[in-house]
Every structure is written in structure tokens, then in C-alpha cells.
Amino acid sequence: MELSFGTTSHGAGRRMSRTRARGLIGGGELRRRLESDGIVVRCPSNKGPPIAYKDVERVVDVVEAAGLARRVARLRPLGVVKG
């Protein structure tokens, strides 16, 4: 409580800009990868690759090691909807 005033991160945060991420992988390729993992994608375009974001497992490990929070569940995405 003293270290963080009772708060912790609410997401992993970005490791690069969305523009840079789009230059690394095309939207169509990203869509194919998500769908091959069983994730349903419903989106009118192929913009905005989520590879711009940090690895959430590493972020959770750091938060847990710092004693700010403890993991209670692991969620797996079922779908992506953009529109």
C-alpha cells in the first residue's frame, strides 16, 4: 500500500508506436495469426496491430515481484472487434 497507494497498472503499455508496428507486420498477416490461434476477428479494416504492446506476462511478473499485486487469473482472448 505504501509503495503504490493501492494502485497498479491496468495494462501492459506500448513498446512502440502503432505506426512502427504497422511497418513490421501487415494487418492481413496479423489477422491470419490471430485466427490461427482460434481468436475470432471482426473488423472492417486491417489496421492497428497489437504487436505495439508489451508482453503482458513480463509486466505481470514485474508487478508481482515488486509486491504491488498478485495474479489471480489468466485470460485468453476469444475475439477482436473493431469498428
**Tens digit of pLDDT for each residue in 23-67?**
888 888 888 888 898 988 887 777 655 667 777 888 889 889 988
User: What residue type is 40 in one-letter code?
Assistant: V
Opening angle at CA 66, ends 61 and 70, nearest 5: 60
- Could you say which of 2, 5, 10, 72 is catalytic? 10
Predicted confidence (pLDDT) at residue 70 exceeds the cutoff of 80 = yes
Supply angle C-alpha 34, 21, 31, rounded to 5.
20
Cell numbers given for 44: 472492417
Res. 5: pLDDT tops 60 = yes
Would you kindly state where each structural domain of the chain is located, as residue ranges?
A: 18-81
What's the pLDDT score for residue 65? 92
Q: What is the pLDDT, as a whole number, of residue 48?
A: 56
| Residue 59 is a catalytic residue | no
pLDDT of residue 49: 56
